[in-house]
Chains A and B, each alone.
Chain A
């Protein structure tokens, strides 16, 4: 505590500095944050709007990790003005309490929520929320994305070791936030097959549910409470919360049990805009049906319709738009043209082979439970083609094979053997690189020991592909969730970043592929590589994001080690595409109406 007071004293003397872009940790919380009070002069404020007490082994401690109030420029400037006015020179001055109270009174206001729902899956909800997060961030607001309940196999690991959906991670980045967290996606459903999903709550595995029990038991008893709590949390800390619905909000069969759409809007007291993917056709039908099937009490929240992904001339909607507005009583507030933006995709419907072009062909095994296939997106920065492989004939002409992640390693291993795909993989050995990621990596080993029946229900030991001399066990329901960074043990020994998300532990008897660097403690070895046989295996998701491993993999595939054109950083490409998307939306969306819905009259 004394050490902290000393730092605060330095900050008092130093005065206002604004954003400290020179600092190696900048921006620790969000782009353009004010860094004047790296150490908070109010700590511990004991105000439950901004933090809470947590138990540690040293007794209770005030935890305000998620508080952003002290990094608002207007707040920082106000504190210095008050310090000057009152002539405060020391961190222990009790008048800081008064400054805190007046700063809160003057600058804190409960956030306002706005929700984006879609007429279908793939309507463009995610991109709309992403664009809104960026537009509002660019206008200087603190914005958080929120999706009450997400069903997706593509997840990311937060700084705090929690698992959240990839879309909310992306949206948080669009909002300029450096540390997306599980408050933004408190309920995550990861389908395991047979209508059963693993339910992740606030980033941690909770329980497996089938669809029926999820709706009958989970939603009312647990779900609603979580959504309320997390929504309050975000509203306390952000100016705006931009919410994303799930699927269609007009599914009359589960309307009362649906906590991802209109019920979430009610909890958040949010206005709603409806997005429709015009490319499918039938937009008018979908718009009218969605709005009319929603009960009157909820319908009045719907304040705008957005026609998304419009190809051709927007004028072709002609008088249709005014007829639609007349029938529904809701204005059309945006006609967004089709945009060629390349952002990580969430749903498996979006899984497409990309065989255009002339580069070498990578075959990716399309497991029935394929997961985290966004790992492969950065490969499209290289001149390669990708084909999803579902049968032995699909191997024709491929120069490399990737066994991607899966939600059910053993069931997908069996599938691969039954289909004859396992055999084709073994035959391919030596001809080009074979890479296994996560579940695919586990399959490359000798044995998979599920004697507890935790992975696939049946208590059994399975034979792997035997490409690597490794054994994987599934001894408990625990899941390894963490973010890593470090260096490659092969090629140019360059850096990598990634994250691990897996059940099961592997005993590795191979040369490791990566060296994980730790902030505290010794480095760790991860993965397996046999360079002579071109075999690679790792638990590391996101391994292609940084250029080093990606270029190595592609160059082994091309048998060409001399390529030296500069490689693109995937994060930079995502950032570029977010901005492009935001620009298109800002130009074609009635932002005046959006701002009015958020309570800002321009």
Chain B
């Protein structure tokens, strides 16, 4: 049982929405774990068995009430400047990637699939997060975290979009349109994130989007001033799950976000159905 949260751009709120859903299901007694096939980040944390994973997945593990695990983020690229990156595989340094040295695509696909199966055997529900936008047509061939993951494990997806930046309808429609046709049936719904202003102004435009794409609008999440660990924050990388106040504060914020979503009529039921929970 799983779902993939895709985003129309970087920074649209995939990580937070995925963390919120981890927390929502954990609070309801489900055994849930986060998964991001491939991460590009300098902010990472150490797992208890000495592996390194992206900070966002550690945060989502916190929301799921479990310890971070190398299988939650099997591929991690750490930029080291000058177009060089350190490639971490299964939480351990693997190789130096640069303009001439590329990682073997087949190896990465296998790594992701194996880590996902191990994680699936340990937990009931897997909530996956995509990377950047899934509609980067120049990267389709080498993608392992978005359409690549949909192909390799057959996971259904929902699309998260940041409306505060403007152009949300275009982003949702354009992203959906560029998803390869054979994967379009797997695109189940979309989520509008960071909405502020007068909701009446949206009129029947959400319905038009549903008709145009066949995806269901799962809800509109309001613009939150809550603090979550973001790419620039270092706070979660210290004292992980040791009852640190910062972590408790993050969880409280997630709970606030869930209750706001419930107030605003977010369609948790349909999302649960797409995940395969009835």
Residue positions of A touching B, CB distance < 8 A: 118-123, 195, 210-212, 215, 247-248, 250-254, 280-290, 292-293, 312, 316-321, 323-324, 327, 349
Contact = CB atoms under 8 A, between A and B. Distances in A.
B135 A280 contact: no
Given A212-B200, A248-B167, A252-B205, A289 B174 contact: yes
5 contacts: A120-B166, A195-B198, A281-B136, A288-B178, A320-B137
A205 B168 CA distance: 31
Nearest to B206: A253
Interface string B9-25: 11100000000000000
B168 to A, nearest CB: 8
B174 A286 contact: yes
Contacts of B202: 253
B102 interface: no
Interface string B60-94: 00000000000000000000000100000000000
Contact of A212 (B10, B171, B201, B208): B201
B205 A253 contact: yes
Nearest to A315: B138
Contact of A250 (B136, B170, B200): B170
Given A280-B165, A285-B133, A288-B178, A119 B170 contact: yes
Interface in B168-227: 168-175, 177-178, 197-198, 200-203, 205, 208-209
Contacts of B169: 248, 250-253, 289, 293
B148 interface: no
Contacts of B198: 195, 210-212
Contacts of A288: 135, 173-174, 177-178
Contact of A248 (B133, B137, B166, B177): B166
A323 B137 contact: yes
A247 B133 CA distance: 20
A289 B173 contact: yes
A254 B10 CA distance: 26
A290 B198 CA distance: 22
B208 to A, nearest CB: 6
B39 interface: no
Interface in B150-175: 164-175
A312 B83 contact: yes
Given A292-B177, A293-B173, A120 B165 contact: yes
A287 B201 contact: no
Nearest to A211: B198
B9 A281 contact: yes
Q: Which of B10, B136, B197, B200 has the most CB of A within 10 A?
A: B136
A517 to B, nearest CB: 43
Nearest to A246: B166
A248 B167 CA distance: 5
Contacts of A251: 166-167, 169, 205
Nearest to B179: A285
Contacts of B9: 280-282, 285-286
Interface string B111-149: 000000000000000000000110111110000000000
A287 B164 CA distance: 18
Q: By CB atoms of chain A within 10 A, which of B137, B172, B200 has the most?
A: B137
Nearest to B177: A288
A253 B170 contact: no
Contacts of A287: 174
B8 interface: yes
Report, nearest first, the 5 A-B pairs whose CB atoms are least far apart: A289-B174, A320-B138, A282-B133, A248-B167, A289-B170
Contacts of A292: 170, 173-174, 177
A316 B7 CA distance: 21
Given A290-B174, A323-B137, 17 more contacts: A121-B167, A212-B198, A248-B166, A252-B208, A282-B8, A284-B136, A284-B178, A285-B133, A285-B175, A286-B174, A289-B169, A289-B177, A318-B138, A319-B137, A324-B137, A327-B177, A349-B164
Contacts of A281: 9-10, 132-133, 136
Given A195-B198, A320-B136, A248 B174 contact: no
A282 B137 contact: no
A286 B166 contact: no
A210 B201 CA distance: 11
Contacts of B83: 312
- Range class of the B interface residue count: 35 or more
Contacts of A327: 177-178
A248 B171 CA distance: 10
A199 to B, nearest CB: 16
B172 A289 contact: yes
B177 A282 contact: no
Nearest to A122: B165
Contacts of A254: 201
A254 B163 CA distance: 14
B138 A285 contact: no
B102 to A, nearest CB: 13
A212 B197 CA distance: 11
A195 B200 CA distance: 12
Nearest to A321: B138
B197 A211 contact: yes
Contacts of B197: 195, 211
Contacts of A121: 165-167
Contacts of A312: 83
Nearest to A318: B138
A289 B171 contact: yes
A324 B178 CA distance: 10
Contacts of B11: 280
Nearest to A328: B174
Contacts of A211: 197-198, 201
Nearest to A279: B10
A286 to B, nearest CB: 5
A250 B174 CA distance: 11
B174 A317 contact: no
Given A211-B201, A289-B175, A323-B137, A282 B170 contact: no
A319 B175 contact: no
Interface string B29-64: 000000000000000000000000000000000000
Nearest to B165: A120
A253 B133 contact: no
Given A121-B165, A121-B166, A282 B135 contact: yes
A119 B136 contact: no
A210 B137 CA distance: 41
B138 A248 contact: no
Contacts of B135: 282, 284-285, 288
Contacts of A285: 8-9, 133, 135, 171, 174-175, 177-178
A253 B7 CA distance: 21
B174 A319 contact: no
B190 to A, nearest CB: 12
A252 B169 CA distance: 7
A282 B132 contact: yes
Of A211, A251, A316, the most chain B CB neighbours within 10 A belong to A251
A119 B165 CA distance: 9
Contacts of B139: 320
A303 B178 CA distance: 21
Nearest to A251: B169
Given A121-B165, A211-B201, A286 B8 contact: yes
A111 to B, nearest CB: 29
A28 B55 CA distance: 58
Contacts of B178: 284-285, 288, 327
Nearest to B169: A252
Contacts of A215: 201
A14 to B, nearest CB: 55
Contacts of A320: 136-139
B39 to A, nearest CB: 14
Contacts of A118: 166-167
A388 B269 CA distance: 41
Nearest to B170: A289
